[in-house]
Amino acid sequence: MPVISTNRRQISEVLKTVVAFQDDEAINYSFARVMAKGSVTINPIGTILIYNGSTSDWELYVAQNIATEAAKSQANNELPDQSIMCITVGTAEGIGQNEADVTLDGNDQEFTVLFRGPAGITRLGVDANGSNAAQLAAAFLQFEKQGLATVGDAPVVTPSLVV
């Protein structure tokens, strides 16, 4: 009988590698906490957020123009390098925390995010959220500029039995 997994998304499905000195020197270089707003339910791991300089809010990335958002004021952007995009990697409790989807209801909701590298991320672990292929390509290009390299997704392996 087949077993259907009921596990929530794991951090390893999004984040493939991160710079070693973070662990070696106990420096929190690539991760931060941000407050997001909106009116949608999202997965706390693998959701792309973009900073809206007009409202000073982090919001779900769907089809916003990244260059336009980058040109807006970043004065209230809480990230140390004022990156304009990030990927959720957990709830406010920390990296890898994903007990349930989080509903953005217009009030601030805190997330742990990956915002700069060096680090490797995978496309399969990131939610498209209604973005088309060109919009996702633009998002991953921005992540490359922020030091987040796109790591190739593992091929699907078909098990076989040799008798």
- Strands in 148-150's sheet, in edge-to-edge order, are 15-18, 119-121, 148-150
Tokens of 146: 């922020």
What pLDDT digit, counting tens, does each position of 22-65 carry?
666 677 788 999 999 999 999 999 999 999 999 999 999 998 99
| pLDDT of res. 21 | 62
Identity of the amino acid at 109: Q
> What percent of the chain has a predicted confidence (pLDDT) above 70?
85
Residue 82 — pLDDT band, cuts 50, 70, 90?
A: very high
What pLDDT digit, counting tens, does each position of 98-115 carry?
888 898 888 889 999 999
Residue 5 — pLDDT band, cuts 50, 70, 90?
A: low
Residue 139 — pLDDT band, cuts 50, 70, 90?
A: very high
Map out the domains of the chain as residue ranges. 13-148
Spell out the residues 6+ positions from residue 34 whose beta carbon is closer than 8 angstroms to its own. 49, 58, 78, 79, 86, 110, 111, 113
Phi and psi at residue 69, to the nearest 5°: -65, -35
What does the CA dihedral 99, 36, 71, 150 come to, rounded to 10 degrees? 0
For the whole model, what pTM was predicted?
A: 0.85
Is the pLDDT at 3 greater than 60? The verdict is: no
Are 64 and 38 within 8 A, CB to CB?
A: no
